[in-house]
Amino acid sequence: MKLSRRCFLSFVIGGAAGTALSPLPWKLTDDIAIWSQNWPWTPVPPDGAYSYTPSTCTLCPGHCAIQVRKVDNRAVKIEGRGEKGPAGGICPLGLSGLQLLYGPTRIQAPLQRVGDRGAGHWRTLTWAQAIDAVVTKLAEIRAKGTPQALAAIAPTDQGTVAQLLQRLLTAYGSPNFLRMPSADDSAEAALRLTTGTDAYTVADLDKTDFILSFGCALMDGYGAPVQTIRAVTRMRERKGTLVQIEPRLSNTAAKADTWLAAQPGSEADLALAMAHVIIGQGRFDARFAMDRIDGFDGFARMVRDKYAPRNVAQTTGIDAETITRTALAFADARRPVALHGRGKGEMPGSLKEALAVQILNALVGNIDQPGGMQIHPAANGYIQWPAVASDAVASAGMGAGRLDEAGGSRFPHVRHLMHRFIERIDQDPDAVQALLVAEANPCHNLPDSDKVKAALGKIPFVVSFSSFMDETAMQSDLILPSHLYLERYEDVPVTRGGAKPTIRLCRPVVAPLYKTQHPGDTILRIAKALPAPVAAAFPWRDYETCLRDTLAHRWSAMDSKGFWIEKPVAAAPVAAAAAVETTNHNGPEEGVPAAADAPAAPAAATAQARRLALLNDDLSAVLMADNATLSDEAGHPLTLVPFDSIRTASGYAGDPPFMVKIVEDTVLKEQDGCVEINPTTAAQAGLREGQGALLSTPVGQARVRIHLSEGIMPGLLALPRGMGHTAYDAYLSGKGVNINQLIGSVQDPASGLDAVWGIRAKLTKA
């Protein structure tokens, strides 16, 4: 039979009718609608049981308390842990920590370089192979009798991990342990000079009613960022006063009651002029001066002669009347405090400036007073390990002296001089044969970063302990990746926030995701595989054992509550620092059991530590020294200064995607960094908003876009720190300009510290 058209049509119509009577079209329509709402590639986060794990954030030196929200074994949110209730404030970086944990820039196993340095070609090693590679190299250097050719760079020297690294170097025979530079360097040196002790200071911002801030980015990451913001906000609510001295309308200046746009670099003069006013008008704390100050008369004479407000009005750009008025307001406040450390305090600045600010505090008698400056002994007091028994090789190496000459006869007041270390490698490529970089990123974060990179390139063997593929890891030969802070135990002394000396506990929130290792264990494994005298200095089975032994009676309280407050004791004189033991704290609010056998600090040391010198020969040399000035290069009419923003991470960790997302479009536009410039200055150069320009300095040059801002002093240019990464992933790499490629180090004549705060620059149309 033949199928006719009619039959076919009939069949089709029947089919259509049947289809309409079947669920197919209706169900399919519904399903397609659902399908189009739920693309299979849109992730569906699995649900589970919720829990919170308390820990400590170590992404910046603030060491804030955090709590991590988990769903089953996944960490889904980091929140602040406040003093009241579970949730407290937290900074953008702390909030973005999970993007670092789960992000693609984590290094997942030990890596060995196979191509050229920086080319990014790697071979995966087992941990045994990786440790063996380090040990072989270190044993070889030591066998040559040059243990001092091993150096290490750490972000801090506080806590057991940094101390284990330093101990490794000591036992090995190298004095070349370096801490990344920060304002702590100059503050510590100032304390050494005035009190003769190894100590640190922290301002009791919770109780102060007048803050005189010398360029501190109080609202942008200074100290413990969250605590600082909260304390300053509350102080303003209590009708306290914030005076911000800074050439740029920063977020801190914007919140200040008085914004003094002083010429950058003149802060020390300004502080000493205020000292002049306070002494001259008799508004200093006479009783404090009598009880605790040495050299007051000499100092008074010095500032009277040299630092009259009208003498510094020219250099500072602040008129004498304003200086006088501010100084008197400061002196007459009930609980005033003066703060030092430009920006987040990531560069040392000049010793003279640190000293001048400390002297202001001493003049108003706020030292160790509520709301004032608290002096605490060096934070490592709780780490009491047996002394290292050195062999002949180690003794010879240790006796060779530090490469950077810190603490030597040339630079007696300071302990770490990173820029001099880099300089020495540059001049003498054989000086360092192996470098261990523990969770620091000097190739991005140090001034003149290209020079730093070149210096690292001259070291035959560079080992990075980084968790991320950062600029320094890229330049290394071997990467021994560390657990991230959310995967490990660690003791973290809190020296930047909170008036009491506190140690917090960082604890694992999730099990390690990758084949990484605790840096403490990495150090222990290296040490134990080295020849006997080195290995013998490390009696602990693993890092956790070491940590528990070290924390001793503190451990259980720290494990349950997350922190421990050391009993405040006076700092010991520099020479005897190691002999003083810190004692248990038994304050009722902490509920920590008292240790009956806690020894008291030696009385003599206490008496010594309680006195402050304002003037002696050493101090005089510093205070009379000229300010560290920028070299005046012809053809560079402008001055470039870095600024710190809480929205850009400028420490070891780079900005995670969430942080890059909140960078303003007046700071970063597409891939271009924007340079902030006053409209009048821009007009003189014929530059408009958003225009491309070439920014050159004696150190380097970069393409930038122009951002006009009324809030910056004419003649200045400003770029944020923490941009312009070349490593990491596409979310961070290549965005903006790394200001460290444009500025170089400026050696402070008085201390040797890197006092850089800017550089001469010029802008040309591009």
Partner 1 sequence: MKQTQSQQRPKRYGMAIDLDKCTGCGSCMVACFAENNVSFKQDETNKLLSITWLRVYKITNGKPFPDTEVCYVPRPCQHCAGQHEGHSPCVSVCPATATDYSLYTGIVSQIYTRCFGCRYCMAACPYHARYFNWWDPIWPEGMERSLSPNVSPRMRGVVEKCSFCFHRYQLARDKAYLEGKRPIREEEYQTACTQACPSGAIVFGDLNDPAHEVYRIVQPDPDNHYKARNPRAFRLLERLGTNPKVYYLSSREWVRRAGDNYLENEAPGTIGAPRGAH
Partner 2 sequence: MSSNDDPKTNGADSDAHLPSPSATTHTIPHILLFFILGMAASMILGWLIFPQLLYSQKNQPIDFNHRLHMELVDQGCQSCHFFREDGTFSGSPKLAQCISCHDQRLGLSENEKIFFEEYVAKDREVPWLVYARQPDCVFFSHAAHVEGARMDCVTCHGNTGTSESLRPYEENRLTGYSRDIWGRKISGLKVNSWDRMKMSDCAKCHAQYADIHDSSEQTRRDACFVCHK
Residues 627-646 that bind partner 1 (CB under 8 A): 646
Q: With CB cut-offs between 5 and 8 Å by kind, which of partner 2, partner 1, none does residue 35 bind?
A: partner 2
Q: With CB cut-offs between 5 and 8 Å by kind, which of partner 2, partner 1, none does residue 6 bind?
A: partner 2
CA distances from 295 to 54, 194, 198, 366 (A): 48, 10, 20, 18
593 binds partner 1 (CB under 8 A): no
Q: With CB cut-offs between 5 and 8 Å by kind, which of partner 2, partner 1, none does residue 22 bind?
A: partner 2
Q: With CB cut-offs between 5 and 8 Å by kind, which of partner 2, partner 1, none does residue 23 bind?
A: partner 2
Judged by CB, which is closer to partner 2: 28, or 600? 28
257 binds partner 1 (CB under 8 A): no
* Of positions 55, 58, 96, 374, contacts partner 1 by CB under 8 A: 96
Q: With CB cut-offs between 5 and 8 Å by kind, which of partner 1, partner 2, none does residue 101 bind?
A: partner 1
Q: With CB cut-offs between 5 and 8 Å by kind, which of partner 1, partner 2, none does residue 226 bind?
A: partner 1
* Of positions 193, 229, 638, 727, contacts partner 1 by CB under 8 A: 229
For 420, the enclosing helix (H) or strand (E) is helix 418-427
665 binds partner 1 (CB under 8 A): yes
Q: With CB cut-offs between 5 and 8 Å by kind, which of partner 2, partner 1, none does residue 88 bind?
A: partner 1
662 binds partner 1 (CB under 8 A): yes
* Of positions 57, 65, 66, 95, contacts partner 1 by CB under 8 A: 95
Question: 747 - beta bridge partners?
Answer: 754
Nearest to 342 by CA among 412, 245, 225: 245
651 binds partner 1 (CB under 8 A): no
* Of positions 678, 696, 697, 745, contacts partner 1 by CB under 8 A: 678
* Structure-token pair, residue 371: 């709301």
591 binds partner 1 (CB under 8 A): no
* Of positions 53, 233, 606, 726, contacts partner 1 by CB under 8 A: 233
Q: In what order do the strands lie in the sheet with 502-506?
A: 490-494, 502-506, 563-565
Cβ 624 to partner 1 shortest distance, Å: 31
Is residue 440 within 8 Å of residue 519, measured between CB atoms?
Answer: no
Judged by CB, which is closer to partner 2: 10, or 136? 10
| The one segment of 77-85, 419-427, 581-589, 688-696 that binds partner 1 by CB under 8 A | 77-85
Judged by CB, which is closer to partner 1: 412, or 657? 657
In single-letter form, the type of residue at position 621 comes to: A
Q: d(Cα 336, Cα 396) in Å, to the nearest integer?
A: 49
Judged by CB, which is closer to partner 1: 22, or 51? 51
Q: d(Cα 186, Cα 216) in Å, to the nearest integer?
A: 14
Judged by CB, which is closer to partner 2: 76, or 607? 76
Q: d(Cα 269, Cα 352) in Å, to the nearest integer?
A: 9
Phi, psi of 486 (to 5 degrees): -85, 0
Q: Would you tell me which residues interact with partner 2 (CB under 8 A)?
A: 1-2, 4, 6-8, 10-19, 21-28, 30-32, 34-35, 37-38, 40, 44-45, 47, 49-50
Is residue 76 within 8 Å of residue 69, measured between CB atoms?
Answer: yes
Cβ 511 to partner 2 shortest distance, Å: 13
| The one segment of 98-106, 145-153, 431-439, 465-473 that binds partner 1 by CB under 8 A | 98-106
Cβ 327 to partner 1 shortest distance, Å: 19
Q: Which of residues 716-735 bind partner 1 (CB under 8 A)?
A: 729-731
Q: With CB cut-offs between 5 and 8 Å by kind, which of partner 1, partner 2, none does residue 14 bind?
A: partner 2
Judged by CB, which is closer to partner 2: 4, or 409? 4
Q: With CB cut-offs between 5 and 8 Å by kind, which of partner 2, partner 1, none does residue 659 bind?
A: partner 1
Beta-strand relationship, 199-203 and 150-154: unpaired
For 65, the enclosing helix (H) or strand (E) is strand 65-71
Burial class from Cβ neighbours inside 10 Å (0-12, 13-18, 19+) for residue 625 reads middle
Cβ-based neighbour number of residue 582 at 10 Å? 24
399 binds partner 1 (CB under 8 A): no
Cα end-to-end span (Å), the chain: 84
Would you say the C-alpha torsion 594, 598, 604, 610 has a positive or negative sign?
A: negative
Cβ-based neighbour number of residue 542 at 10 Å? 12
Cβ-based neighbour number of residue 597 at 10 Å? 7
Q: With CB cut-offs between 5 and 8 Å by kind, which of partner 1, partner 2, none does residue 49 bind?
A: partner 2
* Of positions 298, 460, 658, 690, contacts partner 1 by CB under 8 A: 658
Cβ-based neighbour number of residue 16 at 10 Å? 11
Task: Please report the DSSP string for 735-761 in residue order.
Answer: -S--GGGT----B-TTT--B----EEE
> Hey, which bits of 73-135 come out as E strands?
74-80, 111-113, 122-124
Judged by CB, which is closer to partner 2: 30, or 665? 30
Cβ 221 to partner 1 shortest distance, Å: 8
Cβ 671 to partner 1 shortest distance, Å: 8
Q: Which of residues 45-64 bind partner 1 (CB under 8 A)?
A: 45-48
Q: With CB cut-offs between 5 and 8 Å by kind, which of partner 2, partner 1, none does residue 26 bind?
A: partner 2
78 binds partner 1 (CB under 8 A): yes
Q: d(Cα 588, Cα 142) in Å, to the nearest integer?
A: 51
587 binds partner 1 (CB under 8 A): no
Q: d(Cα 94, Cα 65) in Å, to the nearest integer?
A: 10
* Of positions 185, 188, 198, 220, contacts partner 1 by CB under 8 A: 220
Question: CA 683, 686, 692, 695: dihedral to nearest 10 degrees?
Answer: -80
Nearest to 360 by CA among 299, 445, 430: 299
* Of positions 197, 251, 476, 517, contacts partner 1 by CB under 8 A: 251
101 binds partner 1 (CB under 8 A): yes
| The one segment of 250-258, 362-370, 427-435, 580-588 that binds partner 1 by CB under 8 A | 250-258
Nearest to 425 by CA among 455, 447, 395: 455
Cβ 711 to partner 1 shortest distance, Å: 4
* Structure-token pair, residue 760: 């001469």
Q: With CB cut-offs between 5 and 8 Å by kind, which of partner 2, partner 1, none does residue 233 bind?
A: partner 1
Q: With CB cut-offs between 5 and 8 Å by kind, which of partner 2, partner 1, none does residue 90 bind?
A: partner 1
Helix (H, G, I), strand (E, B), or coil: what is residue 52? strand
Q: d(Cα 430, Cα 66) in Å, to the nearest integer?
A: 44
Nearest to 743 by CA among 374, 294, 419, 473: 419
Helix (H, G, I), strand (E, B), or coil: what is residue 222? coil
Nearest to 719 by CA among 683, 764, 751, 763: 763
> For the chain, how many residues are written?
766
Cβ 10 to partner 2 shortest distance, Å: 4
Cβ 20 to partner 1 shortest distance, Å: 26
CA distances from 22 to 15, 29, 377 (A): 10, 13, 84
* Of positions 189, 249, 425, 753, contacts partner 1 by CB under 8 A: 249
Cβ 150 to partner 1 shortest distance, Å: 35
155-164 core/surface letters (b: 16 or more CB in 10 A; e: else): bbbbbbbbbb
Cβ 403 to partner 2 shortest distance, Å: 52
